[in-house]
Structure 1
Amino acid sequence: MKKYMFKRALATSVLTCGLFACSSLVDVKPKTAVDSSTALTTQEAVNAAVNAVYDALQHTDLYGRDLIAIPEVLSDNGRATNNSSRLVAEYQNQPGNHMINWTQDYYGINQANLILAALPKVTMTDAQRNSYLGQCSFLRALMYFDLVKSYAYMPTAIIPEYNRGGVPLSLTGVLTLQQVDYPSRPSIDEVYTQILADLTVAIDKLTGTANSRGPVYATKGAAQALYSRVALYAGKYQESADFATSALASGVGSFQSKTTYVAGWRTAVNPESMFEINFQTNENIGVNLSLQTTFTTLVTLGNTAQTGGFGDVVPTAALLADLESEKDASGAVLDIRRQLYELGTKGRGAQNIETTKFLGKNGTINLDNVPVIRISEMYLNRAESYYRLGREADAIKDLNTIRTRSGLPEKTGLTGAALLDEIIKQRRLEFAFEGHRFWDLKRLGRDIVKTTNLPFTDYRVLARIPISEINNNRKLQQNYNY
């Protein structure tokens, strides 16, 4: 039997134990066989199903590795070491070596769609129903955002002759192959409109959800923060600024000081996180594909005698130069974020400076929660949005909030392109090895300058839609030149 990825992604969710497997976040018994006609008829089943959508984000094609690591190595932040042969082709921007989140994101979207359809029919309190509705709307928005930024241009930077639209929108869950629709690609703007609509629902329905459920569950503050990011990418700068302000006031995530910032990366849950993917001990990805093994050979800080991971992706010389660009009179680096990088071991070959942002939660090697949105981003989203809106004084104020917290002196007198460049530089330094850099360069329409340069006009800026999808759906148009 032929297996088409889009069919599997949309149709198999409730037919597998994955939708109903008990995650460590819920106290329900695992369901290894579920009748699809009665699967989502109780609050217990809905709760388990919602948790399964969160769990889907742990996949290595998503936030388990690729959505964090690949944007770094596609861009000018990360260099592939070839210690394990992984991510070398992505670093070289070889055709077809890009994001591969299509199948897993559509799988999660179908799960969310099925839950949203079932909610009106299941007996539960209005508060419970609103919480599930808000969470699933948030999760669907996040997954569609990850899809459209991978497989399509962004509204702020498009090559018209290469543009084939956004990604298929499927807003109705399916249980069988016969129910699968074969949609064409809507416009990029239509996809962003749907994402923002989902986030508007999430913000409304999560109003009654306690902040204490964050950051591993969606909250109103997390939805406001994601709205700010999506609006920034869409060029809706007033909305991005407004929702950044709301997110900052939400009480979700704690902006860290100069003295606590680095230590925040050594805790199980980063105190700055507004939304974070939670991994329990039994969900350890392991030595081959975890973020720890991908980014460092170290097992513990400063211990170059013991080799752990492969250190497949390390900082480029250009990134390190930016981190070290401001020094005091003695020549010491001022930026405290440089403390999150140190010399790895010789166990995999040449020693490299490596990031230690992911170094084993609670001392457990290869086990880390993954921050998806940190509160620091809201200041930089707002700074850029203010700049675009002509409010340069306000932009500099938010920029300096990040600079002074990072140990750098305030900037004064910046204006025009120089101000924007400094905001983008601080985004680079703040979110290095968190999966932002490639998307920032892409939405700005900038070339990627590294050993193997990638001009923005190159078709390889977009990911290739899986060939099986194109073969199975005659309405689905492949990206240019693939």
Structure 2
Amino acid sequence: MKGIYFLKIATIGIGLTLASCSDLLDVQPRASIDSVTALTTEDAINAAVNGIYDRLQSTFLYGRDLIAIPEALADNGRATNKSGRLNAEYQNQVGAHFAHWQTSYFAINQANLVLDALPKIDKMSQANKDFVEAQALFIRGLLYFELMRAYTYEPSVELTQVSKGGVPIIKSGVIDATQIKLEGRASINEVYDFIYSDLTGAIAKFTSSGKTATAAFANKTATQALFSRVALYRGDWTNSAKYATDAMATGSIGRFQTTANYVASWRSANQPESIFEIQYQTNENIGVNTSLQTTYTTLVAPGNRTTTGGFGDLVPTRALLDLFDSEKDASGATIPDVRRQMYELGTAGRGTAEIECTKFLGRSGQVNLDNIPVIRVSEMYLNRAEALAKSGNVAGALADLNVIRNRAGLPTVTDLTGASLINEILKQRRLELAFEGHRFFDLKRLGSDIVKAAPVQSITFSDFRILANIPVREIQANANLKQNAGY
């Protein structure tokens, strides 16, 4: 992605499986430096940061799993079994869940090594140091949040009788086995406090860095947007609304699209609504087995049913499609929702043709190569609407809700309050962010059951399968690390 060097530093994952030199700080090699000099120069520090962005491309993270699996585990996606992939997740089988524990902690360790090394770099301007520190703090906060979403309960819905707490907090980097500390799981609130601290620190450093914001890198707007999301999950309505407002105030990135431009925004190389986006170079194509394009659709271009590309492993459920058609006018006719245009009939090249999600159709015609929006500005309107509604600010919540509704082509609503207002916000959140990796996490943070159509069984929020299992090798290596209940 953005790599320059191949950093040969052996290290350990949190649970403390020894990783090879190529596991920790690998980026696309163009030159090589050894571990003695690896993080002692500005070029090496920049290369190390680039390496963290590269790791975010992993299939276990944003390359596929954090985007597709939340749709499969919840009620938005239905597995077609055309390749067998994501079928177990769709059925909520035991152990078929997120598996980014080790990858996330490898990346966290990379961020920690950068943060540890920065004060020791002499020939580097303070502005550049601030920019690097801000990026490392943002990414570390982001990854701790992704670990919390998958492996722990949220504070307001914690099932205390079975909860094992949060995740281990690792604050310093390690480069060999002698530096490892076998940490246990911090409390849920301790981890959220740590994430808050990272994001607050990043916002301060981005302010002084003077760097131009771009969605391809961590930036101040993205940090504010992430803070809004984290606070929403924590039930901190004040900060969720505040940071959503801050993120939307800049206007330099994350440009909200009109109804007329909505479909085109998903056909451009870079989604113009992206506040933070994982970007791929041509030689980083994930391929026909696990890219988001092959996961979601058999199409290679809109409307082209003569050429088959991917497998279309995960397609929208009937319930989701019906929801797009649920808005009626006074005569009872369906009011068209522009977002429904992102779902169309695929090819029969892999079996029965299905209606498929086409949000990811190959950047600039390059099959299986898509940049991945992690945070879009649309989410900020929805975050703020929910936070305001739950704080009793009906007028503010309705205003944000109607921004999303009107862009979709739906009429303004004015008479919703209380539970009816919140339910409509959550409905629009489901429709707006479908197949972008939110649905399972939204149900989980709300303490909601997952209702699925027969023959697949629904699961209640109290079911242990709501949480992912920590890898067995991590548990075996660390007596202080407690496995989630049921595994």
Q: Same fold (TM over 0.5)?
A: yes
For each residue in 1:95-121, what CA deviation from the matched residue of structure 2 results, as whole angstroms up to 9, or x when unmatched? 111100101000100000000000011
Retained in 2: the 8 A contact 1:145–1:230? yes
Q: Structure 2 counterpart of 1:239, which letter?
A: N
Alignment of 1:471 onto 2:470 = no
TM-score, normalised on structure 1? 0.95
Q: Which residue of 2 aligns with 1:188?
A: 188
Alignment of 1:405 onto 2:407 = yes
Retained in 2: the 8 A contact 1:7–1:177? no
Counterpart among 10, 14, 22 of residue 16 in structure 1 = 22
Structure 1 stretches lacking a partner, 5+ long: 24-28
The CA deviation at 1:472 is 0.7
The CA deviation at 1:210 is 5.6
Retained in 2: the 8 A contact 1:168–1:185? yes
Larger mean Cα displacement after TM superposition, 180-189 or 201-210: 201-210
Seq. identity, %: 55
Question: Structure 1 pair 475/17, CA: closer, same or farther in 2 (3 Å)?
Answer: closer
Q: Which residue of 1 aligns with 2:152?
A: 152
Alignment of 1:162 onto 2:168 = no
1:244-283 aligned within 5 A: 244-251=244-251, 252-283=253-284
For residues 212 and 344 of structure 2, the distance between their equivalents in structure 1, rounded to whole angstroms, comes to 34
Count of residue pairs brought into register by the alignment = 471
Root mean square deviation, CA, Å: 1.6
Retained in 1: the 8 A contact 2:296–2:313? yes
Q: Which residue of 1 aligns with 2:386?
A: 384
Q: Structure 2 counterpart of 1:326, which letter?
A: E
For each residue in 1:55-98, what CA deviation from the matched residue of structure 2 results, as whole angstroms up to 9, or x when unmatched? 10000000000000000000000001100001111001111111
1:367-378 aligned within 5 A: 367-378=369-380
Retained in 1: the 8 A contact 2:12–2:19? no
Retained in 2: the 8 A contact 1:5–1:468? no
For residues 30 and 268 of structure 1, the distance between their equivalents in structure 2, rounded to whole angstroms, comes to 29
Q: Structure 2 counterpart of 1:299, which letter?
A: V
Structure 2 stretches lacking a partner, 5+ long: 1-10
1:212-251 aligned within 5 A: 212-251=212-251
TM-score, normalised on structure 2? 0.94
Q: Structure 2 counterpart of 1:473, which letter?
A: N
Please give the secondary structure, in 2, of the residue aligned with 1:120. Answer: helix
Retained in 1: the 8 A contact 2:344–2:357? yes
Please give the secondary structure, in 2, of the residue aligned with 1:276. Answer: strand
For residues 31 and 58 of structure 2, the distance between their equivalents in structure 1, rounded to whole angstroms, comes to 19
For residues 127 and 436 of structure 2, the distance between their equivalents in structure 1, rounded to whole angstroms, comes to 34
For residues 375 and 299 of structure 2, the distance between their equivalents in structure 1, rounded to whole angstroms, comes to 25
Please give the secondary structure, in 2, of the residue aligned with 1:16. Answer: helix
Question: Structure 1 pair 211/310, CA: closer, same or farther in 2 (3 Å)?
Answer: farther
For residues 408 and 227 of structure 1, the distance between their equivalents in structure 2, rounded to whole angstroms, comes to 29
For residues 376 and 177 of structure 1, the distance between their equivalents in structure 2, rounded to whole angstroms, comes to 44
Q: Which residue of 2 aligns with 1:45?
A: 44
The CA deviation at 1:207 is 1.3
Question: Structure 1 pair 453/64, CA: closer, same or farther in 2 (3 Å)?
Answer: same
The CA deviation at 1:178 is 1.9
Q: Which residue of 1 aligns with 2:448?
A: 446
Retained in 1: the 8 A contact 2:335–2:410? no
The CA deviation at 1:40 is 0.3
Q: Structure 2 counterpart of 1:206, which letter?
A: F
For residues 95 and 180 of structure 2, the distance between their equivalents in structure 1, rounded to whole angstroms, comes to 26
Question: Structure 1 pair 414/190, CA: closer, same or farther in 2 (3 Å)?
Answer: same
The CA deviation at 1:177 is 1.5
Q: Which residue of 2 aligns with 1:340?
A: 342
Please give the secondary structure, in 2, of the residue aligned with 1:299. Answer: coil
Q: Structure 2 counterpart of 1:179, which letter?
A: Q
For residues 211 and 120 of structure 1, the distance between their equivalents in structure 2, rounded to whole angstroms, comes to 20
